[in-house]
Structure 1
Amino acid sequence: MSNSYAQPVLRTNDLSDGLSVVERLLGIADLSDLEVDFDVRISSTHVLSAALVVLPDAEWWVDGDRDGSSRKGDDPSAHLPIRLRGWAMPVETVQPFLEAVGDSPATVRWDFACWPEAPEVGLDAGGTRGAFVTMCVNVRDLDLEEPAADHTVFVHVKQIEAERAPWLAAQVGLRVIGDLVMAPY
């Protein structure tokens, strides 16, 4: 399994603007097998409680030198701050997740079958390992390490199809605004 590569196409202070761009990008994708993955850094019991209502079976772990995780059956509230991740969730969980995490750094990644053909740049439909859209909420990067007051939308492509990212941005009236980077998962 290989990682996808992601390139930012929008940075905004308005969460609804970010979601609108995500919807436009999804509008040109083959949404067969659409599911959503979530990742969030949680520092408070309030956010933890709200996130666990939305993602009751989420994995969590402690970053750094401390010990604690869902695999060990530990109590997450005793180990804050933690990183919590939910996989393969239905699209309907996006809004409740965003409400639950509030100002916490988080990502929402839409995973689907493939991007459309991009004949202008010589590409056939782009498939599974490079067909994602991620919105970083309150953070600038996919690793949740650069907290921010704004939100960034990334398109994911295969590294060998890097020219698809600017093409995708252009399809929704945007342009790439940063470098192509390897996505963390």
Structure 2
Amino acid sequence: MSNSYAQPILRTADLSEALHVVKRLLDLADLEDLEIDFDGFVFSADVLTPLLELIPHSQWYAAGDTGGSSEKGDDPAAHFPVRFRAFAEEPEVVGPFLDVIGDSLATVRWDFMGWPEAPEVGLDVGGARGAFVTLGVNVRDLDLEEPSADYTVWVHVKYVEAERAPWLAAKVGLSVIGDLVMAPY
């Protein structure tokens, strides 16, 4: 498995605007096998407890040196901040997740079958390996290291199909606003 490459196309303080762009991108995609992945840094039980109730099979682990984790059965209250992760979720979980996440740093990643043909830039239909859209919440990067007070939308592509990112941005009336970077996991 190799990583995708992501390029930001929108930064906004308006969550509804960010979600509208995500929807427009998803309207272009082959949504067969659509799954949603969540990643975040959570700073309090006020956020983590409802997240664990919302996604009971999710995981958390201590972001610091304490070594605590859900896998060990530890109490997260002794280990904040914690890294929260959930994979292969249904799209209906996105809204409740965003309602609960508060000021935590998070990403929501839509994982699907592929991007459409982009004949204007010489690309055939793109496969699943580079087909993602990510919404950053309170963060400017995909590694959750640059806190912010806004939302960022990234399109993911294969490195050898880098031209697809600005093409996708143009398809939703935008342009790329940052560098193409290797995405985590």
TM-score normalised to structure 2 length: 0.98
Q: How does 1:27-176 map to 2 (within 5 A)?
A: 27-176=27-176
Give the match's secondary structure for 2:153: strand
Kindly state the Cα deviation for residue 73 of structure 1 after the two structures are TM-superposed.
Answer: 1.8
Aligned residue pairs total 185
- Moved >4 Å (runs of 4+): none
The aligned amino acid for 1:22 is V
- What are the superposed Cα offsets for residues 19-61 of structure 1, whole Å, 9 maximum, x if unpaired? 0000000000000001100011111110011211211111111
CA distance in 2, matches of 1:50, 1:16: 22
Contact map agreement 1:52 1:58 (CA 8 A) in 2: yes
User: 2:64, 2:81 within 8 Å by CA — same for their partners in 1?
Assistant: no
Shift of residue 69, structure 1, vs aligned partner = 1.2
Q: TM-score, normalised by structure 1?
A: 0.98
Once the two structures are TM-superposed, the CA of residue 113 in structure 1 deviates from its matched residue by 0.3
Supply the distance in 1 between the matched residues of 2:154 and 2:66 (Cα, whole angstroms): 31
| CA-CA distance at 1:75 after TM superposition | 1.7
Cα distance, 1:64 vs structure 2: 3.5
Aligned partner letter, 2:103: D
Contact 1:48/1:77 (8 A) holds in 2: no
SS at match of 2:21: helix
Structure 2, unmatched stretches of 5+, are none
Aligned mates of 1:46, 1:66 — CA distance in 2: 20
User: Which residue matches 2:183?
Assistant: 183
What is the aligned partner in structure 2 of residue 21 from structure 1?
21
Displacement of 1:166 in angstroms is 0.2
Q: CA RMSD in A?
A: 0.8
Does the 8 Å CA contact 2:64/2:79 hold for their aligned counterparts? no
Quote the offset at 1:12 in angstroms: 0.2
